[in-house]
Amino acid sequence: MYLSRFLSIHALWVTVSSVMQPYPLVWGHYDLCKTQIYTEEGKVWDYMACQPESTDMTKYLKVKLDPPDITCGDPPETFCAMGNPYMCNNECDASTPELAHPPELMFDFEGRHPSTFWQSATWKEYPKPLQVNITLSWSKTIELTDNIVITFESGRPDQMILEKSLDYGRTWQPYQYYATDCLDAFHMDPKSVKDLSQHTVLEIICTEEYSTGYTTNSKIIHFEIKDRFAFFAGPRLRNMASLYGQLDTTKKLRDFFTVTDLRIRLLRPAVGEIFVDELHLARYFYAISDIKVRGRCKCNLHATVCVYDNSKLTCECEHNTTGPDCGKCKKNYQGRPWSPGSYLPIPKGTANTCIPSISSIGNPSKFNRIWPNISSLEVSNPKQANVCDNELLHCQNGGTCHNNVRCLCPAAYTGILCEKLRCEEAGSCGSDSGQGAPPHGSPALLLLTTLLGIASPLVF
C-alpha cells in the first residue's frame, strides 16, 4: 500500500506511482502526464493533468534567522532546564558539538533521544522584547498538502505569528496568529479553525488552542491545512473530487495553500505565569526540535517530476510548457494561450497542452493528426472515462453510476458524486431535512449532475 516508487538519481526526486499518506491513492490520480492509447487513427498520445507527489519539503529549504546571531552559545551561556526553572546550570556552547543548538537541528531526523533542537539565546535583555524571525525559503512555489507542525522543545511561545510569502519574500501576509491571549496580544477575538466554514476558510485567525500548558502534545503547534481541506472534501477527505473542483475554479483558494516562503515570528517566549521572573531570565528562550512542512512543487498540473539540482527545485515540464512552474508555453508551441492543467473531469483532468504555433506547422490537417481532439478520444477509449465507479470513486447516497461517467443522484442530492445535499447548496435546509437519512426511497426523480456541475466557484 505504501510502496512509493522513488527513482532517485543523484539529487532527483521523482514519483511514478504516488501512494503517500495522508491522501492514499486519491491524490495519485494525477501521477501521469500522458499515456499511449489506440484510436481509429492508431496509436496516439493522450495527455492528462499531472502533478508531483506530495513530499517532505523541509529537505529543500533554506533557513534564515533574524537577528542572525540569536542562536545560543556564542558566547557560551547557561540556561534553566525545560520545565524546571530552578535548575539553571545547563550550558549552550556553539563551539562544542554536544552543547551546540544550531538551526539545522530544527529539521534533522527526530525520534531519537534526547531530541536535538535549535535554541535561541536567553531573555537577558528583558524588558526589551526577545523576538526572532525564522524564515524558510524554497525559491520555488510549492503547494502545501498537510498541516505545518512546529514542535517546541521549550514551552510554546506566548505570542507568535506564522506568515507566508508568494513572491519569494518580497511581500508577506499573516497566515495565522497564535497567543495565550489573542485579544491582549493582537486585538483579535480568539477563534479555532473549527469555527470557520467553506465561505470563511480564507479568514486569518488568532488561535489560543495551542497556548502554553504542560499537557500531552503541549509542545506542538499546527497550521491546519487538512481541516481547511475538509470543508470541501468532507471529514476524512473522502471526497477529493469536490476539493479539486473548488481548487480548479477558485484561484484565491489555490493561492491560499501556495507559498514560496514561510516565516515564523516568535514574539514572546513562554512565560507561563503572569509576571516575568526577572531574577531568572535564563528560564526564557525559544527552542524548536522539529518543523514539518509537506507539499509539492507547483507545476500547474503540467509535470509529475520536480528536480532538486544545484539547491534549486524545478518542475520537469511536460505538455510543451516551460518555466520553473511550467507557467508558459515553449517556443514554437504558442498556438493558443498557455493555461494551467485542470483537475476536471475527475479522475484524469484536462492537460491543456500547449500546441504548435500556427506558423510552425503550415498544414492544418497535419495539425489535427498531431493534436487529436481529446474529447473525441475519451469516447473511443472507455477505460479512461471511468469516473464514477472505480476503485476510488463511487456515487454516494444511493446515486448510480451512468455509463461510467456521471452519477445519477436521488432528488435530494447533488455534486459530482451525489455527496452534497441539494438544500445545503441552496442554503435552504430546514431543521428536519438536513440531518436525517438520505431519502433512498424516491429514485423516480433522478437528476443528472454533469461533471462540471460541481465547479460553481465560491465567492470570497
Ligand X SMILES: *[C@@H]1O[C@H](CO)[C@@H](O)[C@H](O)[C@H]1NC(C)=O
By CB under 6 A, name the binding residues for ligand X.
34, 47, 66-67, 131, 133, 163, 172, 263, 265, 318-320, 353, 373, 375-376
Nearer to ligand X, 143 or 318 (CB): 318
Nearer to ligand X, 34 or 292 (CB): 34
Nearer to ligand X, 130 or 421 (CB): 130
Nearer to ligand X, 212 or 353 (CB): 353
Nearer to ligand X, 332 or 390 (CB): 332
Q: How far is the CB of 373 from ligand X (least distance, A)?
A: 4
371-408 burial, b at 16+ Cβ within 10 Å, e below that, comes to: bbeeeebbeeeeeebbbbbeeebebbbbbebeeebbbb
Positive or negative: CA dihedral 44, 45, 48, 54: positive
Q: How far is the CB of 362 from ligand X (least distance, A)?
A: 15
Nearer to ligand X, 206 or 395 (CB): 206
Contacts of 428 (CB under 8 A, 6+ apart): none
239/233 Cα distance (integer angstroms): 5
Nearer to ligand X, 133 or 384 (CB): 133
Q: How far is the CB of 267 from ligand X (least distance, A)?
A: 9
Q: How far is the CB of 37 from ligand X (least distance, A)?
A: 14
* Cell matching residue 316: 520537469
Q: How far is the CB of 436 from ligand X (least distance, A)?
A: 42
Nearer to ligand X, 62 or 199 (CB): 62
Q: How far is the CB of 203 from ligand X (least distance, A)?
A: 20
Nearer to ligand X, 116 or 353 (CB): 353
Count other Cβ atoms within 10 Å, centred on residue 274: 5
**8 Å CB contact between 142 and 297:** yes
Nearer to ligand X, 226 or 330 (CB): 330
Q: How far is the CB of 349 from ligand X (least distance, A)?
A: 14
176/299 Cα distance (integer angstroms): 26
Nearer to ligand X, 171 or 197 (CB): 171
Q: State the angle between helix axes of 225-233 and 240-249 in degrees (0 to 180), rounded to the nearest 10.
A: 100
Q: How far is the CB of 129 from ligand X (least distance, A)?
A: 9
164/166 Cα distance (integer angstroms): 7
Q: How far is the CB of 383 from ligand X (least distance, A)?
A: 18
CA nearest to 48, candidates 38, 34, 36: 34
**8 Å CB contact between 386 and 404:** yes
**Which stretches of 71-183 are assigned E, i.e. beta strand?**
77-79, 90-92, 118-119, 132-144, 148-152, 159-165, 173-179
SS3 317: coil
Q: How far is the CB of 178 from ligand X (least distance, A)?
A: 15
CA nearest to 49, candidates 349, 353, 337, 449: 349
Q: How far is the CB of 450 from ligand X (least distance, A)?
A: 15
* Cell matching residue 449: 449532475
352/244 Cα distance (integer angstroms): 16
**8 Å CB contact between 327 and 298:** no
DSSP code string of 369-403: HHS--HHHHHHH-GGGG--SBSSS-B--TT-EEET
